[in-house]
Amino acid sequence: MTTAPAIEIAGLTKSYGDHAVLRGVDLSVPPGSIYALLGSNGAGKTTLIKILSTLLHADDGRASVAGHDVADQPRRVRESISLTGQFAAVDEILTGRENLVLVAQLRHLREPHAIADDLLSRFDLSDAGGRRVATYSGGMRRRLDIAMSLVGDPPVLFLDEPTTGLDPQSRIEVWRTVSELAGRGTTVLLTTQYLEEAEQLADRIAILHDGRIIADGTLADLQALLPPAAVEYVEKRPTLEDIFLTIVGSNS
Strand ranges for the chain from DSSP E: 7-16, 19-29, 34-38, 60-65, 68-69, 81-84, 156-160, 187-192, 204-209, 212-217
Which domain, by its residues, includes 192? Answer: 7-250
Domain membership flag for residue 116: yes
Q: Domain total for the chain? A: 1
Q: Say which CATH number the domain at 190 has.
A: 3.40.50.300
Per-residue pLDDT tens digits for 149-169? 889 889 999 998 888 777 787
What is the value of pTM for the model shown? 0.82
Residue 49: other Cβ atoms inside 10 A: 21
pLDDT per residue over 50-99, tens digit each? 999 999 999 999 999 999 999 999 999 999 999 887 777 899 999 999 99
User: pLDDT class for 246, splitting at 50, 70, 90?
Assistant: low
Residue 203 domain-assigned (yes or no): yes
Task: Please report whether residue 72 resides in a domain.
Answer: yes
Distance of alpha carbon 149 from alpha carbon 125, whole angstroms: 15
Does 2 reside within a domain?
no
State pLDDT tens for residues 110-145: 999 999 999 999 888 999 999 999 999 888 898 899
Is 200 within the bounds of a domain? yes
| Phi (first) and psi of residue 68, to 5 degrees | -110, 135
pLDDT digits (tens, 9 = 90+) for 17-53: 999 999 999 999 999 999 999 888 888 999 999 999 9
